[in-house]
A and B are shown apart, each in its own frame.
Chain A
Amino acid sequence: STMLPLLLLLLPAAHGIAHLAYRPALTKEPQLEGVKTASTFVVDQPRCVFQNYSNAVIWLVVALNQAASSFNNSAGPGTSETAFQRFPDPVRAYMTLNVTLGSYPCPKPDGDIAVLRVGSETSCIQDDTRPTCNGPLPHPGPYRVKFLALEGSVPVAETAWSVPITLREAKPTSTISTTGSGHSADMIAITTILSILFAILLAGLVAMLFFWGSDSCGSSSTFSKPESVTVRRYNTHHVYDQPAARL
């Protein structure tokens, strides 16, 4: 009876898979405009995480949010259980982006951008001969990812699962409202003032037409120029008359 607890304690050790504390996350540094698009997302490379596993091949596991906890680490990559082409149905988690530790040198040199773009390979989306294709994700998710180190076909280390990642969803253009921007103050000012000015001018024109034939209002006040013309005519008339009178 004492053997049983001891055996139970030994079993996980016999599995040998190390659970690393590292949690994959969307890249925050540098700020990338495309950190999440409609079908791709970008996570940091796991630098200085798998240092003790120099012989391992490091895989990225991408799973549907609900399927993360039920993922079997012993599922082989590149098989029909983990093929990208059969994701998300019936395959609920696929494995891709396999590299050796040499691709993730530690420490990361300053200025280097060490990221992994999940979903960047479009050439193998339908290619069943490439089950480890890093193809674009079919729907906004949410998804969770983790890194898994395999020596041969034996999983030796894994990171924690990331937090659920939901991709961007595009809205239809009909949701853009192009109406109701209203009228600017400029336009209202121009319309109002010009309308008033035009109305005044029309009123003035009407008044002018009304007084066309009759003696005008201001005739007695300022415009004496026409008066002086008639006076001059009158004077010349007199000048012609006088010599005739003398004769």
Chain B
Amino acid sequence: MAKSDDCVHILQGLLVFGNVVIGICGIALTAECIYFVSDPHGLDPLLTATANSDINAAAWIGIFVGLALFALSILGIIGVIKASRTLLMVYIILMLITFAFEMASCITAATHRDSLTPEFFLKQMLDRYQKSDPGNNSDSEITKTWDELMLQNHCCGVTGPSDWQEYTSEFRRTHSDADYPWPRKCCVLNAQGLPVNLDGCKLGVPGYYNSNGCYDAISGPVNTQAWGVAWFGFAILCWTFCVLLGTMFYWSGIEY
């Protein structure tokens, strides 16, 4: 009897520990998703301009899942210590619902990340950068975002300034090729925001224009966000799976 008492206590201890970890991870997930939703890199206009803004949706779901996990972990701890069948049944069902939501969030984040290829950004940039449509707000947002991006990261286009030469674009419609082989923001600018050497920039002389593309500057933060949500969520779910299995086993051993 003493031996099975020990087993019970060990199992209870493990379950309590498991729930504590779930609670902490839930708070961490909420914090991480709040950070991503706040868009620290200013890339949201590029990502949300499409029909689906799934990475953000995944982050929003993550916030609420994190809080739910924290609350449920407390419920779980109480249920385990009191060895209450009802409490634990409620706990398991609610946890499964939370599991499903978090699963959706992870898969959404991963899938959406896969769709953010260089071609996607290239097409969006060419179609909407400097599009002077007064009715459409998101176009001017995209223009502002790209300007900021090219300024901060000293880059041009998605794969390079040749993007503007290889493809037609909204920009090309309003800016002649001879005067603007690529946007002025691709030039090396001085403190006043004017090109250091405009002719050098138009010619493409190394040192007077930005020759690398901005895709790296975009994909870095996007990858961090997507994999942060997807893989951290996946890890939490794996741990939750173990705790839930243990809880089910514990539940089935409780006498009525």
Binding site for B on A (CB under 8 A): 30-35, 37-40, 42, 113, 115, 117, 119-122, 135-136, 168, 170-173, 175-178, 181-184, 186-187, 190-191, 193-195, 197-198, 200-202, 204-205, 207-208, 211-212, 216-219, 221-228
Given A198-B103, A216-B254, A218-B252 in contact, is the A42-B203 Cβ separation under 8 Å?
A: yes
A55 to B151, CA, bound (A): 48
Given contacts A33-B204, A37-B177, A194-B107, 16 further A-B contacts (CB under 8 A): A31-B206, A34-B181, A35-B203, A39-B178, A121-B178, A171-B168, A176-B119, A176-B122, A178-B119, A178-B123, A190-B231, A194-B237, A207-B248, A208-B92, A223-B8, A224-B8
B107 touching A122, Cβ below 8 Å: no
Question: Would A197 and B168 count as touching, CB distance under 8 A?
Answer: no
Q: Which residue of the partner chain, among A33, A38, A178, A198, contacts B117 with CB atoms under 8 Å? A: A178
Assess the A224–B205 pair: CB atoms within 8 A.
no
A-contact 0/1 string along B61-100, CB 8 Å cutoff: 0000000000000000000000100000100110010011
Interface size on B, residues (CB 8 A): 67
Stretch at the interface among B39-47, B141-149, B158-166: B158-166
Contact of B203 among A115, A121, A197 (CB under 8 A): A115
Within 8 A of A (CB), among B223-256: 227, 230-231, 234, 237-238, 241, 244-245, 248-249, 251-255
Residues from chain A with a CB closer than 8 A to the CB of B205 are 30, 32, 113
| Chain B residues with CB below 8 A from A225, complex form | 5, 8, 83
B residues at A contact (CB < 8 Å) = 1, 4-5, 7-8, 11, 83, 89, 92-93, 96, 99-100, 103, 106-107, 110-111, 113-115, 117, 119-120, 122-123, 126-127, 160-162, 165-169, 172, 176-179, 181, 199-200, 202-206, 209, 211, 227, 230-231, 234, 237-238, 241, 244-245, 248-249, 251-255
Interface SS majority for chain B: helix
CB distance from B126 to the nearest CB of A (A): 5
Q: Are B5 and A224 in contact (CB under 8 A)?
A: yes
Residue of A nearest to B168 (CB): A170
A171 B167 Cβ-Cβ under 8 A: yes
Determine if B165 and A168 form an interchain contact, defined as CB atoms under 8 angstroms apart.
Answer: yes
Q: Please, how many angstroms separate the alpha-carbon atoms of A164 and B205 in the complex?
A: 24
With A178-B117, A187-B114 in contact, is A204–B253 under 8 Å at CB?
A: no
B114 touches A224 (CB 8 A): no
Residue of A with least CB distance to B9: A225
Taking the nearest CB of chain A, how far is it from the CB of B171, in angstroms?
11
Chain A neighbourhood of B166, CB < 8 A: 168, 170-171
Known: A222-B8, A228-B1. A34 touches B96 (CB 8 A): no
A186 to B229 Cα, complex, angstroms = 13
A136 touches B177 (CB 8 A): yes
Q: In whole angstroms, what is the CA distance A177 to B206 when docked?
A: 31
- Let me know if A39 and B177 touch, CB within 8 A: yes
CB<8 Å pairs between A and B, sample of 10: A34-B202, A168-B166, A173-B127, A194-B234, A198-B100, A205-B92, A208-B248, A216-B253, A218-B249, A223-B253
In Å, the complex CA distance between A188 and B208 comes to: 44
